[in-house]
Amino acid sequence: MTVKVAPGATIAELAASIAHLPDGAVFIGGYGDIGVVLVFGPADGSATERDVLAAVVGALTPADFARPGTPQR
């Protein structure tokens, strides 16, 4: 389970995104520098590194890789 946080996001927007996570989800890690992907998983620690990587990659879109000012195809 992931939550993407982009520059300019408000705390209210972040709280609303996190509120949609299932009960019992725990924070596993944050990935990125400008746009950040927060990863959450089960409290029992059963999420593997592969699960985390798949969640992060699955959250990304082509726009996440574009340099500012670069037109999208």
Q: List pLDDT tens digits, range 48-72.
A: 889 888 988 888 877 766 666 656 5
In a domain, 38, yes or no: yes
Query: Which residues 6+ apart lie within 8 Å of 51 measured at CB?
Result: 41
Domain assignment present for 17: yes
Q: Is residue 56 part of a domain?
A: yes
Residue 66 lies inside a defined structural domain of this protein: no
Sign of torsion, CA 66 37 21 57? positive
Q: Give the number of domains in the chain.
A: 1
DSSP tag of 68? T
Question: Which structural domain, as residue segments, surrounds residue 44?
Answer: 2-61
Instruction: Kindly report, residue by residue over 8-51, the tens digit of the pLDDT.
Output: 889 999 999 999 999 999 999 998 887 889 999 888 888 888 98
How many angstroms separate the CA atoms of 71 and 49, rounded? 34
